[in-house]
Structures are given as structure tokens and as C-alpha cells.
Amino acid sequence: MPLGVRAALYVALRVLAAAAVGVLLGLVFGRVWIGVAAALAAYLAWQLWLLVRLDAWLRNRRTADPPDVASGLWGDVITQVVRLHRRKRFHKDRVMRVLRELRRSTAAMPDGVVILNGENEIVWFNEKASEYLDLTRKVDYGLRIDNLVRMPEFTRYLQSGQYTLPAIIRVDPGDDRYLAFQLVSYGEGQRLLMVRDVSRRVSLEIMRKDFIANASHELRSPLTVISGYLETLASESGLPPDLAEPLAEMRRQSARMTGIIEDLLVLSRLESADGQVEGEPVDVGAMLATLRKDILARPLHPAKVELRVDSQAQLLGNETMLHSAFMNLVENAAKYTPASGSIGLRWWTDARGGHFAVSDTGPGIAAEHIPRLTERFYRVDIGRSRATGGSGLGLAIVKHALQRHGAELEIRSEEGRGSTFTCHFPATRVAQPVTRAASG
């Protein structure tokens, strides 16, 4: 311990020096011990005085200059303290600067950002978020977000636990402001809530839907006139024979166009509202029996159309929508199945809900087409689907009608073997028949 030894030597030397001065003074005045005591007391007082000054300086070292003790032990101590202090301030400044820049950049973000903890309490938010959500800085830190942002749809989104897709919510039914909310988890229980103003995008989307609905509606009346005249012309007897074939083709095409427009109208009606439809009991068994009869009544149909109704449970939903969805699925199956093939319809329920499946022995669909099948006007084979006269909107209608019922469409297919389209309805959409409940 050379340092400790040196310090001890230093202290001893100082005290001895003070004592020596005391002895000298004592010799001068003739009382040695009083001189020594006085000198030691003075030395002690001097040391304490320096200690008091150091303490005073440490208390407000931000403003005051350090005491000017250049040499000796106290000088060393003060230099050490000043150095430590400077180094600390340097690091602190740097951290503060980084933090400030981080905050400034988050604050300047065009989107609203709210940091939430595991209990949905607000930890921090930026300027935009306070503008969008009407939050007050500092005051609202620590409050639960769902106590301040109370739109029922937002509360549902927050509690749903499924944050892969953003929730687009109309702020007030009275005006056209829409916000998109997206939750992102990070760290331990921390979550980031991003808020964006999507009013413009939503209004464009609404304009697009309105345009399609209006355009289809406007196209319908002139087309009715054309079809009507074609009908009359075809029944005319004095027509030149070389016009017969073009006329027949014109009638086929105008019928097809009518079909497309009808489908567009159905689709735009399905799209015009979102959210779940109200549930009215629909007798699926009876509906499927009618659909089966319709298919068998056609001049060209698969040899076998099998119907299996395994459950008497009713489906809660909108009958018109369900009918157009089921009809499209059954028609597709019939269309793509050769006359020698067969199709099967099946309705059954289990713990997970109700299920409707249509299977056919048609050519099947290649796996790469399946994810895109429900897109509008998506064609697997352009030549063939034109020949069968589809509108290209059937499966889009199915998808939308099912969405409005909280149901999902599952497509399984094997090339050359056939395809199965299954609609899965949630259990809340299934109503067990009353008779069974009474007997059980």
C-alpha cells in the first residue's frame, strides 16, 4: 500500500510541521505546550475551513467556481471532483442530445404515435397523436388509452388481440374523418399505437364504390332496350338468313353483359355497407334442395347432383346474400363439371359452427391460382371461362357475402380430380332447431 503509506507520511509530516511551528512559538513566549496546542488548533481550524468551503462549492457547483486551493491534498481532491463532474456532464449532455433528437424525430413524424404499457396505460405520445386523439400532454400519462379514446370499435380492436391488420374507424358518424389504428408490440409488454388519418383514402374508396354502383345502374337501362329489340328481331320471320347467326351471337353477348351488370350491382350492394349483417334464421336444407332442382332443370348438367343435409340447424343471416353466395358456388361446380361427372352439396354443423361444402369432379384448379380466385375478373383460363359465360364476379360475391356473415371460404383443389369449396360459419351464426332443445 504505497499510496496509503504516502498519505500517512504526508499527514504525519503536516502535523509534525504544525507542532514544530507551535514549539517555536512556545519557545518565543516561554510556554511550549500552549504554543503547540494553539498551533495544532489553528491547523485543525484551517483544515475544517477548507472542508466547509469544499462542501459549499459541492452544493452549488453548477454556478460557483471551485475554491482556489492550488496545491496539497485539498487541491488534489478538488481537481479530482472537477474532473469527475466534467466527465459526467459530458456524458449526460450526449445522452440528452440523443434523447432530444429521438423525441424530435418521433414528434415530427406525420403519424400519431402512442407508447402503451402492458395495462394499456399511456407512457408517451407525440404531437400528432395528441391532435388526432385529443390527448393532453403530461396530464394523460399513466391513464388508460381506452378511457380516453372511447370509440366502441377501437375498444373492440384493443381487446381483440389481433393486430396484424389496422382498424379503420370513423371518428364521428356525423363527419367524414377516418383514423387507422395499428398496434405493434415491442420489448417487454410495451406496445406502440400508430394512428394515421386515412379520411382521403376512405373517401376515394367510397367514391370508387359509388361510381361502380352508378355506372352499372346507368348501363342497365340502355342494355334492356338493346336486348328487347334483339328479342323482337329474332322472332321476326322475314329476316335474311345470313343475319340469323350474327343476331344469335348478339343475343348471347347481350345476355352475358346483363349478367355482368347484375353481378356488379349485387357486389356493390354487398360492399356498400360493412360490418356484420343481422341474423334471421335461414333454412339451409330447403335452400339447397331448391338449388339442386334448379341445376337439374338445366339442359346441360352433371349426371349426379348429390345433396346431404346432416343438420337441421338453421343459419342466422341474410337470406338473399346467402342465396347468391351458395348459388354462385353451386353454379360454378355445375359449370366446370362434365356431364359424366358428379357434384355434391353438404351442410353440417359441429362445435366450431356450420359448414357448407360443394365438391365437384371437374378439372380442378392449379395451386398458384387459388389465392387469387376471389379477385374480381380473375380468370384461370381465359378462353374457357368466356365460353361458359361467367361474369368473373361470382367468387368475389361469395367472398363478400361470407365476410358479412363472419364466415370464411376454404378452397381445396387437385388438378384433374376436382375441387371442394367450403364455407365455414362461426358457431354464433348457427341456431339449433327448437324441437331438439325441447326433447333434450
Partner 1 sequence: METADLSHHISRRFNADLERVRSKVMAMGGLVEEQLAKAVAALIDGDSNLGVAVARDDYKVNDMEVSIDEECQRILATRAPTAGDLRVIVAIIKTITDLERIGDEAEKIGYIGSRLASMERPADRYREIKHLGRIVGEMLHEALDTFARMDAEAAIQVAHKDRIVDEEYEAIQRQGITFMMEDPRNISRALDVMWVVRALERIGDHAKNICEYVIYVVHGKDVRHTRLEDVERELRDRGDNR
List residues binding partner 1 (CB under 8 A).
134, 136, 139-140, 142-144, 146-148, 150-152, 154-155, 172-174
360: closest CA among 420, 434, 279? 420
CB of 155 to partner 1, least distance (A): 5
Question: Hey, is 338 helix, strand or coil?
Answer: coil
Taking phi over 0 as left and psi of -120 to 50 as alpha, with beta for the rest, 301 belongs to beta
CB of 216 to partner 1, least distance (A): 22
Alpha carbons within 13 angstroms on the beta-carbon side of residue 343 total 29
Nearer residue to partner 1 within complex by CB, 54 or 171: 171
Written as one letter, the residue type at 99 is L
Alpha carbon separation from 41 to 24, 52, 93 (Å, rounded): 15, 16, 45
Residue placing its CB nearer to partner 1 in the complex, 59 or 138: 138
- Say which residues have a Cβ less than 8 Å from residue 58's Cβ, sequence separation at least 6: 81
Which residue, 14 or 177, has its beta carbon nearer to partner 1? 177
151 vs 307, beta carbon nearer partner 1: 151
Residues in a beta bridge with 184: 192
Q: How far is the CB of 318 from partner 1 (least distance, A)?
A: 13
Query: What is the grid cell recorded at 167?
Result: 382498424
* Beta carbon nearer to partner 1, 151 or 250: 151
Residue 273 CB, shortest distance to partner 1, in Å, is 9
Instruction: Give me the least distance between CB of 213 and partner 1, in Å please.
Output: 17
Q: Torsion angle, CA of 343/344/345/347, rounded to 10 degrees?
A: -160
- Three-state DSSP at 114 gives strand
Nearer to partner 1, 43 or 141 (CB): 141
Q: How far is the CB of 138 from partner 1 (least distance, A)?
A: 11
Q: State which residue, 59 or 150, has the beta carbon closest to partner 1.
A: 150
Whether the CB-CB separation of 365 and 411 falls below 8 Å is answered with yes
Least Cβ distance, residue 134 to partner 1 (angstroms):
8
- Cα–Cα distance for residue pair 131/420, rounded to 1 Å: 50
DSSP-derived 3-state class of residue 403? helix
d(CA 397, CA 376) in angstroms, rounded, equals: 9
